[in-house]
Structure 1
Amino acid sequence: MKDSPTKRKVVEAASSLFYQKGFHGTSVRDIAEKASVNVSSISYYFKGKQGLLEYAVSRYYEEYLAIIEATLEESGDDTPNEKLKKLIHKIIQYKHSNLQLSCFIHRELSMDSVFVREMVVTYLAKENFIIGNAFSAVVKGSNADKQKLDRQFLLMQLKGMLVTPYVLHNEWRSQVVGDYSHSLFVTKYVQTIHQWIDYITR
């Protein structure tokens, strides 16, 4: 999905402001000022603030799902364990590279915000399907199955780990400064989830 430079600037400005002030606390004028564009540009491209939110969230999830589907296709010859680990790495990498929008979306979803939930319900169903299948392929042949651990609870734990940095971002944000530091956070956090997978499947 190719954006014009102006459109991209508006989406970036809106993502930053929604993250800082929330959707309702952000005005169209705030977005226009931060993006250095006319208010009329937002009406022209998005038909207003609600349209801008829908566009930004839809684009976020469409890119996200395309990336995780491509990751599974590219790892076709890998073991289920390797596939899941690659998938997790791509998920955290994507969410982190879109940090402000990730935090905003997950915050709204955690509060069961109707205006976001209704927008993303189809995307979330697809995400759950992809992650659930990849996880089931790993757990069903492991000792976890023999010990009769509930796969559903384990999957819930995994999904929780995938969103925690973006719901509780204040827990780690002060310790992460600069691109290298963010990259290091992604690497270490992904390793932690990988270790959890190794533990439950040994």
Structure 2
Amino acid sequence: MKETPTKRKIVETASTLFYQKGFHGTSVRDIAEKASVNVSSISYYFKGKQGLLEYAIANYYEEYLQLIETTLEQSMDDEPIERLKNLIHHIIQYKHINLQLSCFIHRELSMDSVFVREMAVTYLAKENYIIGNAFSLVFKDKKEDKYKLDRQFLLMQLKGMLVTPYVLQNEWRSQIVGDYSHSLFVNKYVQTIHKWLAYISE
């Protein structure tokens, strides 16, 4: 079933409520009231709350994976380190544009929520492959790699940095007011990761 304004509104509303109240703390009626739609609309489009969550997560990751694949394709001629830096910027930017759903998903994954992990497992495997491959290419031609033995741990650190703002959003969101400051946060946070990456790859 193709996207419609009503369907999009329901997903956006549900994402906000899941973020604020959690999945189990949000009812179909809550979503319908806040989205100004009938409960039957949610049943029609998604077959219920579980189907709505599945759709939201699938849509989130499909757009995300398409973005990172396109980003890498468009920077094929760049040096590996620049490709990875560009990829990191697009990842953080996407997660921030979809802030509430990003926070909800990463919060659930950090708590090892089975119902979210089962929905996301295939997407997460593909994400790990893409990021891991881009990270490995940075070190491919280095004859003397001072971090050779620790590379798996460094990749783990990178993946941690990509999700930290969305697991620990209480650490920074009080400093953010309006779209402009969100943009500043993204740029500053990305620059911090870039500095770390430059240090370990020099």
TM-score w.r.t. length of structure 1: 0.97
Q: Which amino acid aligns with 2:150?
A: D
Show the counterpart of 1:76: 76
Show the counterpart of 2:150: 150
Deviations 1:9-35 (A, max 9, x none): 100000000000000000000000110
Structure 1 residue 188: Cα displacement: 0.4
Matched-pair contact (CA < 8 Å) for 2:147–2:200: no
Residues 186 and 144 of structure 1: is their aligned pair in 2 closer, same or farther, counting only changes over 3 Å?
Answer: farther
Structure 1 unaligned runs (5+)?
none
2-side partners of 1:147 and 1:47: how far apart?
50
Residues 2 and 186 of structure 1: is their aligned pair in 2 closer, same or farther, counting only changes over 3 Å?
Answer: farther
Q: Does 1:52 align with 2:57?
A: no
Structure 2 unaligned runs (5+)?
none
Structure 1 residue 139: Cα displacement: 2.7
| Runs of 4 or more consecutive aligned structure 1 residues displaced over 2 Å after TM superposition | 139-149
Residues 144 and 164 of structure 1: is their aligned pair in 2 closer, same or farther, counting only changes over 3 Å?
Answer: farther
Residues 144 and 173 of structure 1: is their aligned pair in 2 closer, same or farther, counting only changes over 3 Å?
Answer: farther
Q: RMSD in angstroms over aligned alpha carbons?
A: 1.3
Structure 1 residue 146: Cα displacement: 3.7
Residues 124 and 153 of structure 1: is their aligned pair in 2 closer, same or farther, counting only changes over 3 Å?
Answer: same
Show the counterpart of 1:104: 104
Show the counterpart of 1:115: 115
**Secondary structure of 2:148 counterpart:** coil
2-side partners of 1:42 and 1:21: how far apart?
18
1-side partners of 2:93 and 2:149: how far apart?
29
Matched-pair contact (CA < 8 Å) for 2:96–2:102: yes
Matched-pair contact (CA < 8 Å) for 1:139–1:151: no
Question: Between Structure 1 and Structure 2, how many residues are aligned?
Answer: 202
Structure 1 residue 142: Cα displacement: 4.2
Residues 95 and 147 of structure 1: is their aligned pair in 2 closer, same or farther, counting only changes over 3 Å?
Answer: closer
Q: Which amino acid aligns with 2:54?
A: E
Show the counterpart of 1:6: 6
Structure 1 residue 2: Cα displacement: 5.2
Residues 108 and 143 of structure 1: is their aligned pair in 2 closer, same or farther, counting only changes over 3 Å?
Answer: farther
TM-score w.r.t. length of structure 2: 0.97
Residues 198 and 67 of structure 1: is their aligned pair in 2 closer, same or farther, counting only changes over 3 Å?
Answer: same
Structure 1 residue 149: Cα displacement: 3.6
Deviations 1:17-58 (A, max 9, x none): 000000000000000011010000000000000000000000
Matched-pair contact (CA < 8 Å) for 1:144–1:200: no
Matched-pair contact (CA < 8 Å) for 1:71–1:87: yes
Matched-pair contact (CA < 8 Å) for 1:143–1:201: no
